Amino acid sequence: MLVLPDREAAEEVAQVLGERFGVSEEPRIVRDALAGEDDAEDAQWLVLLHDEERRLDVGALDGFAAEWEGWREDP
């Protein structure tokens, strides 16, 4: 799971994932409102991807997410 600061970044990341990492399944993008916040700007956007075979390098994913001011989290 990659956590991004806004929807635009999440959409770009989802698109580039396939190109850079060879991800064939389209990742899901989900809005994650911060606890106790009602403001739409107080949300993070998650890019959910499946890597059951653990083919993706987590270090490379960390750097990739950081390019959009985001980070990787284990679900």
List the chain pLDDT tens, one digit each, 75 residues.
999 999 999 999 999 998 899 888 889 999 987 655 555 556 899 999 988 888 889 999 999 999 999 999 987
Q: Give how many domains the chain has, as a whole number.
A: 1
Coil/strand/helix, residue 72: strand
Report the predicted TM-score, pTM, of the whole model to 2 decimal places.
0.83
The pLDDT value recorded for residue 32 is 87
Which of these, 61, 27, 18, lies nearest to 46 by C-alpha position? 27
| Domain span holding position 60 | 2-72
Residue 9 CB-half CA count within 13 A:
18
Task: With beta carbons less than 8 A apart as the criterion, state whether 6 and 68 touch.
Answer: no
The pLDDT value recorded for residue 38 is 56
